[in-house]
Amino acid sequence: MGRPFDYPLEPRLEQLRWQKQRCLDALARTQQVASARKDEWDALDSQCEELARNALPASAARVDIAARAGALAYLTQLAARRAEARSALQQAKEQVDRAKDDLSSCLMAIDQLDNDRALASQDHRREQERVAAREADRDWAATRHVRGSRGS
């Protein structure tokens, strides 16, 4: 019928598809890190709560001051580790959010180019149909002209 459709932005569309895969991979990695950070924080949080409950004896019986001071020092250290884990978890969540934003931007760009490609393909098809119709009209007119000159 005519020349085949050739989308000039096809190489960019391919690049975006590759970028989409990289974004998906990055999102998966950041989600794994965030999950590991959450598990670490949960474990430290549980440990802190357990130690805090057990640090104060239920009875007012004789308390070993040295043991209690050691337990409180350990609890303080554990609380600091928990705070660091919380910070690491927050950073991991921010990385996940950035990876989601990157993926979203990539998907929007792909959608825009896919829509543009579909419109360009429709325009190409319509132009090919117009060319074919003009050729058919020209052929019909030529055939009619040839028949008309034979009939005289």
pLDDT of 38 higher than 70? yes
The DSSP letter of residue 31 is H
pLDDT, averaged across the chain: 89
In CATH terms, 10-150 corresponds, of 3.40.50, 3.40.1350, 1.10.287, 1.10.443, to 1.10.287
Please, what is the Cα angle at 56 between 51 and 61, to 5 degrees? 140
Please, what is the Cα angle at 143 between 137 and 146, to 5 degrees? 140
Neighbours of 50 (CB within 10 A): 10
51-76 confidence digits (pLDDT tens): 777 766 544 456 678 877 887 888 88
85-120 confidence digits (pLDDT tens): 999 999 999 999 999 999 999 999 999 999 999 999
Neighbours of 83 (CB within 10 A): 12
Domain limits of the chain? 10-150
